[in-house]
Amino acid sequence: MAKQAETSVEEALREELRRGDTVLAGTGPVLRHFLSCEDSALFTDEVIARVRGMLFDIADQLLFAVAQAEGTADRTAFLEEHIERLVHRLGLDDELLAHAHAMALEGRLTEDLAERCAIDPVLPPLVQELTASGDETIADLAMRFLAAQARFMQHQRRMELPLGELPGDLFHKALLALKAAQMTEQDNFRSARKSLRKTFDEALGRRGLVTRLATSLRKHDGAAMRVEMSGLALFATTLAVASDQDRDRTVIALRSASPVRTALAMRMAGLEANEIRAQLATIRPNLALPDMPDEISPELATDMLAQARPVEAGEG
Q: What is the pLDDT along the chain (316 residues), one digit of tens a residue?
A: 455 555 666 776 777 777 656 555 545 565 565 555 443 322 347 888 899 999 999 999 999 999 999 888 888 898 899 999 999 999 999 999 999 999 999 999 999 999 999 999 999 999 999 999 999 999 999 999 999 999 999 999 999 999 999 999 999 999 999 999 877 788 889 999 999 999 999 999 999 999 999 999 876 678 999 999 999 999 999 999 999 999 999 999 898 877 888 999 999 999 999 999 999 999 988 887 777 767 789 999 899 888 876 644 444 4
Strands (E), the chain: none
Confidence at residue 260, expressed as pLDDT on a 0 to 100 scale: 87
Confidence at residue 314, expressed as pLDDT on a 0 to 100 scale: 43
Closest-CA residue to 211 (of 171, 174, 170, 239): 239
Confidence at residue 23, expressed as pLDDT on a 0 to 100 scale: 53
Confidence at residue 40, expressed as pLDDT on a 0 to 100 scale: 34
How far apart (Å, rounded) are the C-alpha atoms in residues 255 and 262? 10
How far apart (Å, rounded) are the C-alpha atoms in residues 127 and 145? 9
How far apart (Å, rounded) are the C-alpha atoms in residues 27 and 33? 10
Confidence at residue 184, expressed as pLDDT on a 0 to 100 scale: 75
Amino acid at 200: F
Query: pTM for this structure?
Result: 0.84
Closest-CA residue to 71 (of 197, 177, 191): 191
How far apart (Å, rounded) are the C-alpha atoms in residues 308 and 303? 8
Confidence at residue 182, expressed as pLDDT on a 0 to 100 scale: 78
